[in-house]
Amino acid sequence: MTYHGHIENGAVVFDETVVLPDGMKVRVEPVAEPQQTLAERLAGLVGCISDLPPDMAENHDHYIHGTPKR
């Protein structure tokens, strides 16, 4: 049988009621949470700036650093 839970203040807390006898050996295996890609983490920012020059992607160095336009 497999039980699911989480760590709380350094102790395993089961998600459901679990009754195990004292002294029973158990194995605890960490389960990695799925990692979001950078694009997924920044998705809320995509398209949030609407007043940029139409050539911003091509000439970002000009607008940010003052270099000559391409």
Domain membership of residue 36 (yes or no) is no
For residue 46, the model assigns a pLDDT of 87
Total domains in the chain come to: 1
**Domain housing 12:** 1-31
**Residue 59 burial (CB < 10 Å; 0-12/13-18/19+)?**
middle
Give the integer Cα–Cα distance in Å for 60 and 64: 6
For residue 50, the model assigns a pLDDT of 86
Domain membership of residue 54 (yes or no) is no
Domain membership of residue 68 (yes or no) is no
Domain membership of residue 47 (yes or no) is no
Tens digit of each residue's pLDDT (9 = 90 or more) over 11-70: 999 999 999 999 999 999 998 888 999 999 999 998 898 899 999 999 999 999 999 998
For residue 47, the model assigns a pLDDT of 85
For residue 13, the model assigns a pLDDT of 94
Domain membership of residue 12 (yes or no) is yes
